[in-house]
Amino acid sequence: MPVLVDNIEVQIEKIYEVFDLIDNEGADPWLWAVSDCLAGLLDQYKESLSIEYVYPLMQLIKRFEEKNTIIPKMLNNALSNINL
């Protein structure tokens, strides 16, 4: 189970670790777990998100598309509300 953190930058950086787990172990639940945690953090984050963190978010979305899985509503809503 991924370690849940309360820092948005750290959580976004953890996306890459989750991708490695998915690629090596096929652990789809990790994808859902990180997206749920990230969605909660994005909802609370009131400052503009640095552009350097946009690419990992795009990669997360791409992973859902590759797995033919619908992006969770909570993450979708959080992504639509972020400031860049």
Can you give the residue ranges of every domain in the chain? 8-80
How many other CB atoms are found less than 10 A from the CB of residue 47? 8
The token pair that represents 63 in the structure block: 């992973």
Which pLDDT value is given to residue 46?
65
DSSP readout, 37-68? HHHHHHHH--SPPPGGGHHHHHHHHHHHHHTT
What does the pLDDT look like over 13-57, one tens digit per residue? 777 777 776 666 655 676 777 777 778 877 777 667 777 777 778
AA letter at 75: L
> Coil, strand, or helix at residue 47?
coil
Q: Which of 72, 51, 58 is nearest to 19 (CA)?
A: 58
